[in-house]
Amino acid sequence: MILSESQKQKINAVLEGIESWFSYLLLILLIVLPLGEIFARNVLDTSMPGAVLVVQHLTLWIGIAGATLAARYDRLLSFTLGVQFFEEDSKLAHTAKFIACTVGAAVSLGLAKASFDLVRSEFAYPTYIMSGLPSWVAEIVMPVGFTIIAFRLFFHGTSNLKERMTGIGLIILLAAMGVFTSLATTWIIWIGFLVLFLAIITGTPVFIALGGAALLLFWHNQGPIAAIPSEMYRIVTSPILPTIPLFTLTGYFLSEGGASKRLVKVFRTWFGWMSGGEAIATILVCAFFTAFTGGSGVTILAFGGLLMPLLLKAGYKEKFSLGLVTASGSLGLLFPPSLPIILYAVIAHVPVPNLFLGGIIPGILLLVLLSLWGFRNGRFTKSVKRRQFNWRDALQSLWEAKWEVILPFIILFGIFGGYASLVETAAVAAFYSFVIESFVYRDLGLGKDFRSVLKECAILVGGVLIILGVAMGFTSFLIDAQIPMKTLAWVQVHIQSKIVFLLLLNIFLILTGAIMEIFSALVVVVPLIAPLGLAFGIDPVHLGIIFLANLELGFLTPPIGMNLFLSSYRFDKPLTEVYLSTVAPLIILFIGVLAITYIPWLTEFLPNLISF
């Protein structure tokens, strides 16, 4: 039976609704269960058996569900360097899309097969999450999710019968190769990596690049591909990972409500009277929101349209304004509750509170350095208008935003006060931000607005967690191949000076930040550098802040720093213009990163003062 176009649309709408509401339910449960645990412990003097374990596994489910949503809307995080230079709707762009999506579909089916192998093994020899609940019940979401993503990638990249038949043929060919491990010769592997590289530069998702590399390497070494989803399951269900969707949801409640306008008003009234006051306000607002969303891209895309006109209206030149907003988008990654800090802590096995404390002074240093640039520009640019300080306006703006201003203090109290776990604190923050935006300020409706926030959060979280999980599978191969230990042995032979090692580490991490998405960089690179840092006597907390500060700088490094592309897209400016606008802030922040690297006191003072 051939369905009409209207019937297809109706079926698609029903499936979309089911998928979206499933994601909404998972996110709501992620909030409710930790809050219920707090209530049971403090009011009823009891606990909710299994609640913590259920929350950990809900993180896996929202990660996969969010990734399938991201695939539906073609919003999986991608390496889009090649397609940036193709004319939209040109034949070359269409071919690039076909290659990226077809290879992506093939790799995703390979990951689905690997996940099915894991589920089948767990079903035959079950392990249990808790009494009566086997692990395979939670893991079954992975083969289902990867299969759905494969179909969506395939149909995104093909538009007619000829293309679809060609794509199916290529996928069958790749699948057949995967069955016969005798074909896994070195030259075939190199061809596989060449195809994968071609898919990367034409825009295939980041998780496909990492998952495809992992599948090729395990196939070549005749290792079990089920190790990839096994590592994904292990990392995504770790005790701290539920904080990622919860703090991300907090950031979305704030950004989609009126928090951005209120906080901009606060910073403008309190700092606008200074030379460069509007610039300083921009820096502080960007840092505030990046700390919650964990991604500089979200800040540039969400707030660039608000902040850029304010700077231009205040009299700042366009080049300065463009550079400031682009650079400020990455500030905030060193402040709690930064998601990259949480991920680094999980991967490197460093206490999260210590890393939160370690990032505060270095983060403030970078804010101050960039603010001094704004101050200088405001002082010597004649067209910049200075505001008169008005105590009444300043206090009134602070009063209007009081519920949002105290949120960071609530989070810090929860983390360091000892009254709630990190996950419970994140749940409190998400619920609190929902209440103040929906019931106190009434900027978010309980219908369409609320669902929109949940959907956007699910898409972002899914895009991040699927990268994290697949990258962990790739990393497991590197560890099995003893790559970290071989790297350590090579470095110890050729580099004896700690100063030289740190300088090379700076260069390596900045380049890594420029070419890799931060979450995949964390999973792939941290296991390589952590043993090196230990060998050179670098404090683990200090090494973590060095790592994140350099990656933050990598976002601004030409020619392919992520912030540069996002800013070019958001403000519709040529890349060369964006490059030139960020030269000064790049140099300034590099000085700050060097200070963070070579002055350990900046990082170690607070963790040593407040020990855990």
Answer with the one of 204, 236, 268 that is the final residue of a domain: 236
Lookup: tokens for 110? 């390979």
- Are residues 219 and 253 located together in one domain of the fold? no
pLDDT at 14: 77
- Are residues 307 and 220 located together in one domain of the fold? no
Whether residue 416 is predicted with pLDDT greater than 80 in this model: the reply is: no
DSSP state of 134: E
Higher-scoring residue by pLDDT: 215, 91: 215
Average pLDDT over residues 445-463: 87
Whether residue 81 is predicted with pLDDT greater than 50 in this model: the reply is: no
pLDDT at 388: 77
pLDDT at 422: 85
Higher-scoring residue by pLDDT: 591, 511: 591
pLDDT at 115: 93
Whether residue 447 is predicted with pLDDT greater than 60 in this model: the reply is: yes
Query: What is the spatial distance between Cα 322 and Cα 297, in angstroms, rounded to a whole number?
Result: 14
Task: Name the β-bridge partners of 133.
Answer: 130
DSSP state of 439: I
- Are residues 333 and 398 located together in one domain of the fold? yes
* In the chain, % of residues over pLDDT 90: 17
Per-residue pLDDT tens over the stretch 519-578? 777 878 888 888 888 888 899 999 999 999 988 888 787 766 677 777 776 777 777 788
Answer with the one of 184, 213, 236 that is the final residue of a domain: 236
Find which of 288-302, 319-333, 437-451, 518-532 is predicted with most confidence, using mean pLDDT. 437-451
Classify residue 9: in a domain, yes or no: no
Query: What is the spatial distance between Cα 392 and Cα 423, in angstroms, rounded to a whole number?
Result: 39
Q: By mean pLDDT, which of 238-242, 518-522, 598-602 is the weakest?
A: 518-522
Query: What is the spatial distance between Cα 293 and Cα 430, in angstroms, rounded to a whole number?
Result: 12
Per-residue pLDDT tens over the stretch 260-284? 788 888 887 887 777 777 888 888 8
Range of the domain at 598: 243-444+481-609
Q: Which of 196, 12, 201 is nearest to 97 (CA)?
A: 201
Q: By mean pLDDT, which of 55-59, 331-335, 443-447, 574-578 is the weakest?
A: 574-578
Q: Which of 155, 141, 147 is nearest to 112 (CA)?
A: 147
pLDDT at 177: 64
The C-alpha angle with vertex 575 and arms to 574 and 576, in degrees rounded to 5, equals 90
- Are residues 249 and 218 located together in one domain of the fold? no
Answer with the one of 236, 262, 287 that is the final residue of a domain: 236
- Are residues 174 and 283 located together in one domain of the fold? no
pLDDT at 391: 85
- Are residues 281 and 338 located together in one domain of the fold? yes
Classify residue 375: in a domain, yes or no: yes
Q: Are 157 and 100 in contact (CB under 8 A)?
A: yes
Cis peptide before 337 (omega within 30 of 0): yes
Cis peptide before 559 (omega within 30 of 0): yes
Give just the sign of the alpha carbon dihedral 103, 106, 111, 114: negative
Confidence of residue 4 (pLDDT cuts 50, 70, 90): low
Q: Which of 598, 595, 566, 596 is nearest to 582 (CA)?
A: 566
Average pLDDT over residues 402-412: 86
Classify residue 474: in a domain, yes or no: no
Average pLDDT, the chain: 82
pLDDT at 83: 47
Classify residue 171: in a domain, yes or no: yes
Higher-scoring residue by pLDDT: 43, 61: 61
Classify residue 461: in a domain, yes or no: no
Q: By mean pLDDT, which of 76-80, 202-206, 375-379, 608-612 is the weakest?
A: 76-80
pLDDT at 493: 78
pLDDT at 358: 92
Q: Are 380 and 355 in contact (CB under 8 A)?
A: no
- Are residues 334 and 432 located together in one domain of the fold? yes
- Are residues 387 and 407 located together in one domain of the fold? yes
Per-residue pLDDT tens over the stretch 97-119? 888 888 888 899 999 999 999 99
Classify residue 401: in a domain, yes or no: yes
- Are residues 414 and 535 located together in one domain of the fold? yes
Classify residue 451: in a domain, yes or no: no
Whether residue 427 is predicted with pLDDT greater than 70 in this model: the reply is: yes
Domain count, the chain: 2
Q: Which of 332, 399, 401, 338 is nearest to 367 (CA)?
A: 332
Average pLDDT over residues 256-261: 80
- Are residues 255 and 219 located together in one domain of the fold? no
Task: Name the β-bridge partners of 78.
Answer: 205
Classify residue 287: in a domain, yes or no: yes
pLDDT at 342: 86
Whether residue 85 is predicted with pLDDT greater than 60 in this model: the reply is: no
Q: Are 512 and 554 in contact (CB under 8 A)?
A: yes
- Are residues 40 and 86 located together in one domain of the fold? yes
- Are residues 220 and 250 located together in one domain of the fold? no
Confidence of residue 383 (pLDDT cuts 50, 70, 90): low
